[in-house]
Structure 1
C-alpha cells in the first residue's frame, strides 16, 4: 500500500546572537566561523563620515549595474551566484577598479577587518586569503542595494545552496561543508525598514528540495517560515553585521523616501581546517 508523504515542518535551531556598540573584535569573527554564535551586530562600528563618503562614491560610480539574475537590485563588483568560476573571476577582475573607487582616498574598513582577521588566524596556523583560480582573484567586497518592492526588499534565502552547487571548478564549494559567513558593512540605511531578518531555521538539502530551491537557496516562501521564530537586526549607517549564512535570512521592506539601504558584502569560511577563503 502506498504511504502518503508527510510534509515536515521546518526544524527550529536556536539563534545565538550578540549585539553591542563599539569596535568589532577578531575573536568574535572567529566565533562565527566556528559556529559558536549565529549572528553578530556591532553598532557604530565605523564612522558616519566614512559611511557617507562610501555612499557618495557608490552613487557616482560608473561601475554600477542592475542585477539581471532575478534578484532585484543594483551592485558594484562581482557575485558568484549562478555563475561558473571562469565567468565569476573574469567579472571580478573587470570590476576591481570600480570596487577600489568605492573607497577613493579612504582607509578601506573592509580590507582593514580582513587584514586583522588574517593576523589572528595566522597565529592559529590558519591561512586566510581571497579565493582565486587561473581566471583571476575575488574582490574584497561588493556594494549593493536591494530594490524589491514586495513584503521583502530581499526575499528569504540561505547562502549555502549557492556555494554547495557552485561547481567543481570553484575552490569555494568546500566551504559549504562548514559555516558560510556573510559579512555586511552598512554605509547607508533608510529611515524605516531594511532590517536584516534571520529565522531560527538552517535548512538541509532535503528542505531545499522540498521548497524547489536546491541549487539557489532563493527564495523561501512566507508560508514555509510562518511558524519559525525570527530576529530582526535594527541597522543604522556605520553598523557591521555578520551571520551564519546557512540560516534563512532576508531584508524587510524599506521606506521609499530618503536614504537607500547600501551595504558592502563579502562571504568567507573554512575550506580546510588550515584555510579560510574570502569571496563575494
Structure 2
C-alpha cells in the first residue's frame, strides 16, 4: 500500500543559534518568544552543587515513574503529551509534592528564571503565569531521563503539534499560534553522547500529516531527516538550553551516567500573557 510518508523532501528552515558561557538573559528569552532566535545554549548556566543535589533528589524521589505513553523514559512530574486537560492538570496536582522535593530547600535555577522573567515581563505590562484550568494548575518543571535504546535516546520530534492539538479545555492551545519555547536545565549528563540535536526543519501542518504525526509531532524518521542539516549541542552538567520547540529535535544515544533534564515550556498566549507548563 502506498503511503504519504516521505513523498516530499522537508523544507530547510533557517536557524539562529547562540552558544555562550555565563548567566541566562531575560532579553534573550523574550527574543526567543518573538521567534527572533532559534536556540540558546548557555554553558555553565547554573551551580554544579545545586545540579548534584537535584540529581540526588531525582534518584531517591518517591514520585519517580516510568513513562507509559510510548516515549521511553523515567520522570518526576507531569506531561501534557497525549492527555486531555482534566488528566494533565490532575496529574500535575498529584505530582506537585514530588516536584517540590526535587528542589527541596535549594535556591534553584528554574524558579530563579521564572521569577526573573516574570519581573521583566511585568515591566512591559505582560503577565507570566502557570497554565491552569478548573482541574488545577501546571507545575514549574518536570524531571526526565530519556531511555530510548535505538538510534536515539529520544526520537526526533517537534513540540508544536501536541500544543496545537491540545484542545479547547487547555489555555495553552493559543500558544501554538506563536513560538513554543522548550526550556531545559541539565543537572546531570552522560559520560558519552546524549547531545541535544536540532534539525533545520520547522514542520508545517501538511508535513506532520504526511509523516502521520499530526497530533503528536513524534517521531520523525531518520529517512525523512537524512538530508536536513542539524546542530548538536554538546552538554555538560550545569548547562541550560532553550530551543524553539517548533523545530525538530531529539537526543542522541548515550552511555554512562544518568542524563537528567529539567524541562518546561512557555510562550505567548496573547500579547499581554505568557503561559508556562510542562
- TM bucket, shorter chain: over 0.9
- Secondary structure of the 2:190 match is coil
3-state SS of the aligned residue for 1:90? helix
Aligned-pair CA distance for 1:6:
9.7
* Structure 2 equivalent of residue 233 of structure 1: 233
Residue 22 of structure 1: aligned partner: 22
> Which of 241, 246, 271 in structure 2 is aligned with 1:273?
271
SS at match of 1:118: helix
Q: CA deviation at 1:191?
A: 1.2
SS in 1 for 2:254: coil
Alignment deviations for residues 99-118 of structure 1 (CA, whole Å, 9 cap, x no partner): 00001121121011000001
Compute the displacement of 1:250 (Å): 0.2
Q: Secondary structure at the match of 2:35?
A: coil
The answer to whether residue 45 in structure 2 is matched with residue 45 in structure 1 is: yes
Match of 1:132 in 2: 132
Q: Secondary structure at the match of 1:250?
A: strand
Q: Is the 8 A contact 2:157 2:218 kept in 1?
A: yes
Matches within 5 A, 1:115-130: 115-130=115-130
Deviations 1:190-214 (A, max 9, x none): 1110000000000000000000000
Structure 2 spans left out of the alignment, 5+ residues: none
Q: Where do 5+ consecutive residues of structure 1 fail to align? A: none
Distance 1:44 1:137 in 2: 31
Q: Paired residue for 1:206?
A: 206
The residue number in structure 1 matching 2:177 is 177
After TM superposition, the runs of 4+ consecutive aligned structure 1 residues lying more than 3 A away are none
Say if 2:256 is the partner of 1:263: no
Deviations 1:30-75 (A, max 9, x none): 1110100000000001111000000000000000000000000000
How many residue pairs are counted as aligned between the two chains?
275
Q: Distance in 1 between matches of 2:77 and 2:222?
A: 30
Indicate the SS of the match to 1:171.
coil
1:29 match: secondary structure: helix
- Per the TM alignment, residue 8 of structure 1 is displaced from its structure 2 partner at its CA by 2.1
Q: C-alpha separation between the residues in 2 aligned to 1:230 and 1:14?
A: 11
Distance of 1:220 and 1:9 partners within structure 2? 13
Asked whether the equivalents of residues 197 and 250 of structure 2 are also in contact (C-alpha less than 8 Å), the reply is yes
| Distance (whole Å) between structure 2 residues aligned to residue 245 and residue 189 of structure 1 | 21
- Alpha-carbon distance between aligned partners in 2 of 1:217 and 1:109, rounded to the nearest angstrom: 28
Query: By how many angstroms is 1:14 displaced?
Result: 1.4
Q: Match of 1:241, SS?
A: strand
Give distance in 2, aligned partners of 1:157 and 1:37: 19
TM-score between both structures, scaled by the size of structure 2: 0.97
State the match for 1:249 in structure 2. 249
Matches within 5 A, 1:188-227: 188-227=188-227
Per-residue deviation, 1:151: 1.0
Secondary structure (helix, strand or coil) at the match of 1:166 reads coil
- Shift in Å, 1:9: 1.1
Normalising by structure 1, we get a TM-score of 0.97
Please list the CA deviations of residues 164-220 of structure 1 after superposition, one character each: whole Å capped at 9, or x if unmatched.
Answer: 001110010000110000000000001110000000000000000000000000000
